[in-house]
A and B are shown apart, each in its own frame.
Chain A
């Protein structure tokens, strides 16, 4: 067998392998998408059975989400607002800290950076109970601030911005100083624009994490109309399966924003993840 033929054959085998992998990977999502068009009673009785394309398709499950009695729109709004607010605040605060650690030499810098790494190593779940007490005492239980505030300075983002800023030449800062900028002026006018790719990558990653976050909102959010989508959906999951109609169409709509974000910004997603992770 000639070299060229062997290469072609290898390529064909690899591509077949990946097509199979993609099928397995996407199947649960495809399955859910198709099931969302099914009649809810049939869905409950038969699951999705073996017909991968349902015989009858209707939008009834989706109509339910937008009906008067439905709270799903509240959940969607809450998720959008919490994710938006969290991402903006966290980008701002974490970039300030990361910049401080990456751009300056000062006493205590290494100690603070060690603390950042330490926070990354501790599972937040062990802090849930005192944080819950704290949030109750601060009077922000069942509010957006209660969900956002404790984790608004993200150690992962701080770490990422510090790495990024370390790679930018300090000459830019000196140029700003010559022009009479304050240190904050240098950050906002000179350095922040240079950090734009970092803001992009981290913003997307923070938004994704927050959109999907579960355990902390589950503890903080108490009333139905304050729930985010994951919390609301989990409340619908009863052992009797009688909410499958809302559950499944609600789940499909929950994935859409983040998939769109991903398809528009794949590079930022991947680079944010790879840089934040591998150099750790």
Chain B
């Protein structure tokens, strides 16, 4: 068959053309997703020497994995995720509800300003945070504390304050994004619901707790899911404060640990094993959540 005839036929065919349209994804999926995913799984059972030679060592990487450093990384990610979510759900809801109220003037302006941090890279924003939380007693935050009679802190050298830095930076950048999600959710709530509640004499709080919050539930779940996902893959927030290494394991996160093992110690097998554990954690949490919130039911969307 003439190949040009074949191509021409495909271009006119409603049956064949869709496969051509989706082919970039299929190709990218096979080469840049499926193959690497299998490759990670295999490498996690190997000792990898250089880029092209390796031998199987069974579960050794996984056995080595469960040491104190990994637990520290896991703990840091878990605490980080919980703390950020404690801020990243209520605060954006508050912003969105107030910005959705007709009483508020200058809504577009406030919305834009609150979104601006989301535009900055974690590294660029981190420069500013590193300066503000400098260790000298004249650096901004220490100077303010000094006025209050609190001694200067060495922010990046303590686990607690280090965690605080990461949470503040992460929350500062993500709050505006969540606010946009909640605003979109609020706009889809029909005005009549509030009107009829008002006729029944419902107070502002009753309206919020019995109309707004239940109807925002899908978006709360969405931001919760994204928050957990982002929390367990956090890297930049740690890297910007401790790019050259850290005292103890302050700021050691799971992805940081992968990076350290694979690219600084050249142990790709170990790095892969950590990656597989990370994948398991993220997927497990996602599945539990989907199950808990009944999102497997078709009418959920």
Contact = CB atoms under 8 A, between A and B. Distances in A.
A183 B17 contact: yes
Given A48-B132, A214-B121, A125 B275 contact: yes
A261 to B, nearest CB: 8
B184 interface: yes
Interface in B266-283: 268, 271-272, 275-276, 278-279, 282-283
A11 B17 contact: no
Nearest to A8: B103
A132 to B, nearest CB: 8
B222 A280 contact: yes
Contacts of B144: 50
B122 A274 contact: no
Contacts of B108: 266
Interface string B92-111: 00010011010111101011
Report, as a range, how many residues of chain B touch the other chain. 35 or more
Interface in B8-59: 8, 11-15, 17-22, 24-26, 28-29, 31-33, 35-37, 39-40, 43, 51-52
Contacts, number: 296
A66 to B, nearest CB: 19
Contacts of A149: 32
A35 B183 CA distance: 34
Given A25-B113, A32-B127, A254-B124, A123 B119 contact: no
Contact of B13 (A183, A247, A251): A183
A256 to B, nearest CB: 10
A48 B133 CA distance: 10
Contact of A106 (B15, B110, B172): B15
B119 A255 contact: yes
Contact of B32 (A99, A131, A280): A131
B132 A28 contact: yes
A208 B119 contact: yes
A11 to B, nearest CB: 5
B277 to A, nearest CB: 9
B103 A11 contact: yes
A253 to B, nearest CB: 10
B132 A31 contact: yes
A113 to B, nearest CB: 9
B80 interface: no
A74 to B, nearest CB: 17
A62 interface: no
B143 interface: yes
Looking at chain B's contact residues, the main secondary structure is helix
A112 interface: yes
A203 interface: no
A112 B111 CA distance: 36
Contact of B127 (A125, A134, A247): A247
A49 B140 contact: yes
Interface stretch (A12-20, A53-61, A193-201): A12-20
Contact of B103 (A10, A129, A215, A258): A10
Contact of A269 (B21, B35, B40, B115): B115
A187 B21 contact: yes
A84 B229 CA distance: 28
Given A26-B113, A97-B22, A239-B244, A104 B120 contact: no
Looking at chain A's contact residues, the main secondary structure is helix
B18 A115 contact: no
A115 B29 contact: yes
B114 interface: yes
B274 to A, nearest CB: 9
Given A11-B105, A97-B22, A238-B244, A49 B271 contact: no
Contacts of B36: 127, 130-131, 134
Interface string A96-114: 1101110110100100100
Which 7 residue pairs are nearest across A and B when measured between Cβ atoms? A100-B21, A47-B139, A183-B17, A212-B121, A126-B275, A130-B39, A274-B184
Interface of A: 7, 10-11, 14-15, 17-18, 21-22, 25-26, 28-29, 31-32, 35, 43, 45-50, 93-94, 96-97, 99-101, 103-104, 106, 109, 112, 115-116, 119, 121-123, 125-134, 136-137, 149-153, 158, 182-185, 187, 208, 211-212, 214-215, 219, 229-230, 233-234, 237-239, 244, 247-248, 251, 254-255, 258-259, 262-263, 266, 269-270, 273-275, 277-280
Given A31-B140, A183-B12, A185-B11, 18 more contacts: A11-B104, A11-B105, A15-B106, A31-B132, A47-B138, A100-B18, A123-B232, A127-B40, A134-B35, A137-B52, A153-B29, A212-B120, A215-B255, A258-B119, A262-B116, A277-B180, A277-B184, A280-B222
6 contacts: A47-B134, A137-B51, A182-B8, A211-B121, A212-B120, A263-B112
